[in-house]
Amino acid sequence: RSVLERIEAVDPQVKAYITVCAEEALGAARQADEARARGKEAPLLGCPISIKDVICTQGIRTTCGSKMLENFIPPYDATVVERLKAAGAVIVGKTNMDEFAMGSSTENSAFFPTANPWDLSRIPGGSSGGSAAAVAADECLASLGSDTGGSIRQPASHCGIVGLKPTYGRVSRFGLVAFASSLDQIGPMTKDVTDAALLLSVISGYDAKDSTSVAEPVPDYRQFLKVDLKGLKIGVPREYFIPGMDQEVESAVKEALIIMEKEGAELVEISLPHSQYAVAAYYIIAPAEASSNLARYDGVKYGFRAQEYTDLLSLYKKTRSEGFGAEVKRRIMLGTYALSAGYYDAFYLKASRVRTLIVEDFKKAFALCDVIATPVAPTPAFARGEKLDDPLQMYLSDVFTIATNLAGIPGISIPCGFSKEGLPIGLQLMAPHFEEGRLLQVAYSFE
């Protein structure tokens, strides 16, 4: 009830939610109370949690921030939602996002932009900006986001919360509306590291409905929450700390490195030489996969359909012209071009090769260290509208987060300081595949 009151009080300014399920949430909360009275125990019993609107919720509208799915009500729950409910969670609502998760500011939502709760004139980051803002503004206790190129970590950093992108295959993508299937991963966005560990334990694990989910045993991630970094090697990639970088980001992250050293970790300089090509490779691979995934929105099967058309082709054309926003169209065009005959080798194949080089960079780096530490975003949260007309500038907000997705490794964003203007700054930690425990262990030393 207090979360719903808080939503009523602040969401008219923050605009974190596309849909608030007040009635259903109160009903579920009452059931949780009754279950508790009967002696039931469950890890999230009665916890009000929000869900990014790209994750299917049975009977609750799931829009992906798009006009195309404005009235789409899924007939089933995503596996992560099923698991949350089984753990006793109460779904409070669906959070705003960049259309089909394409963006870094939540300004690409077809409905409205979300504000950063720390400064309403700034963006909350994106594409999971609604989730990050909702957690930061106490409009839920935790949220689930999705991360294809930084969409959990970058908004977490801008809103001063914890955001974890798990290893590719750790969490089922069944019921996550696909953006770029080889990069997408669902993860927790929480107030602290303990909550991230708890949520990750609940949502992780093999799912027969997602052929890329991995049958690796799921530990209780809370076992990693102990302050002891003795013997741990923290890799600091020289390519991520460059002359000309934002001074406030640099000093906040460097201070965090000093804290880790004080806790007993050893800092080692490493190199990730191909990271400089990560943005270029990502903006071929992600749009290529998106152009294929988004072919399903044709006005026939489900979702928006244009009112007037003459034949099947005009139905497709009008539906897609009217239903998709500018950024989504840009990606479909880029991706279709990169995959077309004659260009495939020059663009898609080349980007895939760069991806392999990035994977190898990380392999070499993790032979020298246990965890890698970098900034999350090049600057603190920028002003609304600042990058809206300049897609390239917007894409560059992802420089530090994208390599993680290309390599499929886990990454976490944790608050590590503030700018002079009082805006949160995040530290990113990355670990080898399925070593989320290490991320949580190092992150916990900051609490």
Using the minimum distance from each CB to ligand GLN, give the nearer residue, 370 or 398: 398
For residue 271, indicate whether it is catalytic: no
Distance in Å, CB of 389 to ligand GLN, minimum: 15
Distance CA 261, CA 269 (A): 13
Using the minimum distance from each CB to ligand GLN, give the nearer residue, 127 or 441: 127
Applying CB under 6 A, which of residues 141, 198, 286, 430 lies at the interface with ligand GLN? 286
Q: Per-residue DSSP letters for 411-439?
A: EEEEEEEE-TTS-EEEEEEE-STT-HHHH
Out of 104, 105, 109, 127, pick the active-site residue. 127
Residues in Cβ contact with 396 at an 8 Å cutoff, skipping those fewer than 6 apart: 279, 378
Do 94 and 114 contact (CB within 8 A), yes or no?
A: no
In this structure, what DSSP letter does residue 92 have? E
Residues in Cβ contact with 315 at an 8 Å cutoff, skipping those fewer than 6 apart: 298, 299, 300, 305, 306, 309
Among the listed residues 430, 386, 426, the one whose alpha carbon sits nearest the alpha carbon of residue 407: 430
Distance CA 187, CA 447 (A): 20
Out of 15, 52, 85, 165, pick the active-site residue. 52
Does residue number 123 form part of the binding site for ligand GLN (CB under 6 A)? no
Distance CA 337, CA 317 (A): 18
**Residue found by looking up tokens 């690409």 in the block:** 108
Distance in Å, CB of 276 to ligand GLN, minimum: 17
Does residue number 66 form part of the binding site for ligand GLN (CB under 6 A)? no
Distance in Å, CB of 307 to ligand GLN, minimum: 30
Distance in Å, CB of 56 to ligand GLN, minimum: 16
Q: What are phi and psi of 390, to 5 degrees?
A: -130, 80
> Count residues contacting ligand GLN (CB under 6 A)?
13
Using the minimum distance from each CB to ligand GLN, give the nearer residue, 166 or 437: 166
Distance CA 137, CA 129 (A): 12
> For residue 109, is the peptide bond before it cis, meaning its omega torsion is within 30 degrees of 0?
no
Distance CA 400, CA 110 (A): 27
Using CB under 6 A as the binding rule, the residues of this chain from 149 to 178 that contact ligand GLN are: 149-151
Per-position x/- string for 337-366, each x denoting binding to ligand GLN as judged by CB under 6 A, each - no binding: ------------------------------
Residues in Cβ contact with 160 at an 8 Å cutoff, skipping those fewer than 6 apart: 118, 136, 415, 424, 426
Stretch that binds ligand GLN, among 98-106, 246-254, 356-364, 423-431 (CB under 6 A): 98-106
Using the minimum distance from each CB to ligand GLN, give the nearer residue, 46 or 378: 378
Do 279 and 402 contact (CB within 8 A), yes or no?
A: yes
Distance CA 283, CA 334 (A): 8
Stretch that binds ligand GLN, among 14-22, 96-104, 195-203, 353-361 (CB under 6 A): 96-104
Using the minimum distance from each CB to ligand GLN, give the nearer residue, 171 or 286: 286
Distances in Å between the alpha carbon of 331 and those of 147, 216, 327, 374?
A: 17, 34, 6, 28
Using the minimum distance from each CB to ligand GLN, give the nearer residue, 54 or 249: 54
Stretch that binds ligand GLN, among 145-153, 268-276, 345-353, 359-367 (CB under 6 A): 145-153
Stretch that binds ligand GLN, among 86-94, 144-152, 410-418, 423-431 (CB under 6 A): 144-152
Distance CA 365, CA 372 (A): 8
Do 420 and 400 contact (CB within 8 A), yes or no?
A: no
Applying CB under 6 A, which of residues 147, 192, 361, 370 lies at the interface with ligand GLN? 147
Packing angle, helices 350-366 and 278-293, rounded to 10? 120
Stretch that binds ligand GLN, among 142-150, 168-176, 226-234, 264-272 (CB under 6 A): 142-150
Stretch that binds ligand GLN, among 24-32, 148-156, 309-317, 420-428 (CB under 6 A): 148-156
Using the minimum distance from each CB to ligand GLN, give the nearer residue, 32 or 64: 64
Using CB under 6 A as the binding rule, the residues of this chain from 393 to 412 that contact ligand GLN are: 398
Distance CA 132, CA 179 (A): 19
Residue nearest to ligand GLN (CB): 151
Using CB under 6 A as the binding rule, the residues of this chain from 202 to 221 that contact ligand GLN are: none
Distance in Å, CB of 439 to ligand GLN, minimum: 18
Distance in Å, CB of 385 to ligand GLN, minimum: 17
Applying CB under 6 A, which of residues 101, 189, 253, 278 lies at the interface with ligand GLN? 101
Out of 151, 201, 275, 291, pick the active-site residue. 151
Each as own residue / partner, the long-range contacts of residues 32-41 (CB below 8 Å, 24 or more positions apart, any chain) are 32/88, 32/90, 35/88, 40/88
For residue 127, indicate whether it is catalytic: yes
Distance in Å, CB of 264 to ligand GLN, minimum: 33
Residues that bind ligand GLN (CB under 6 A): 101-104, 127, 147-151, 179, 286, 398
- Active site (catalytic) residues: 52, 127, 151
